[in-house]
Structure 1
Amino acid sequence: MGYHISLVSNVTNKDDQFEYSDIKQKIEKSSRFKIFEDDGKSFTIIEKKGKGEFGAFYNAGYIWISTSQDEEIDTFIKLAEFLECRARGDEGETYKTVNNVYYHPGDLERIENNLSPEMKKNAVSVKKYNIVIRAIQIVGTIIFLSVMFLIVLKKLKG
């Protein structure tokens, strides 16, 4: 079973649909990619010199792949770079490389809206936990600095 990855805009809150003619023109100028099986509404993007394993699909304004192969994901990331956009997985993660992902600020609201009630509850618990930990760190720092101040004061009087 493949993992679904889509190309999305780098611009926050921009519609993630791509215009057929814009994408087609950009791909036709590429030295690495080419259009394959174009029916006038959708097409497949393949590598010009590839082994025939990579195929990204353009359909109804969206560009996507479904794969579990690292090599194909890496090629899709290169396609995203060429098209000046980014590759986003099903769980909202954006790929810098196959092994390096992050959550783009423009996707955080979308990710939060798609969380199940249980996941939202856990996310709130994690936020509260992080606040408590930070508060403990601050109090600990204040106590440490106070003790150090008293030691220095005692030595100066001493």
Structure 2
Amino acid sequence: MSPDLWSFSLDTYARPGVETACLELQSTGANVCLLLCGLWLGQQGVACNEQRLRLLRNLAEPWDADVVKPLRALRMQWKTAAASDIELNALREQVKALELEAERHLLLRLERTAHSWPQCGVTDLSAWLEGVTAGAAHLDRDALHQLRVAATGA
């Protein structure tokens, strides 16, 4: 198990099916950084409750809206044109790197927020996943299951 959220996120995202599941959930409005944070907290044995979920959402939502999503939108906007324009593709790759760095900073902020939360042993990953995806439309239950499996190694 990765001791820090960034390493856990990289390890988890690299597992088979996780990237696809995360992108599917992201397309329904879920925040991938919150998903990964919820998995990490569940794996760390931190109990899920509404106060903790609210703190994480209040931290993640403005950063996602003001920093991550604008970078992602620009990167996606340039996708077609960059396929045939070497210079634009190079700029698009730089934007992609900035987007990833913005997500890394969000994960660091989420980890700092949760740093002092006590570990209580066994927790229910489903509670964390349902809590961090509250408000997302038409969640893909198969994608959530894929994340649970990846996080538990089952």
TM bucket by the smaller chain?
under 0.3
TM-score (norm 1): 0.25
Higher relative contact order (CA 8 A, sep 6+): 2
TM-score (norm 2): 0.26
Task: Point out the structure with the larger helix share.
Answer: 2
Task: Point out the structure with the larger strand share.
Answer: 1
Q: Which has the larger radius of gyration?
A: 1
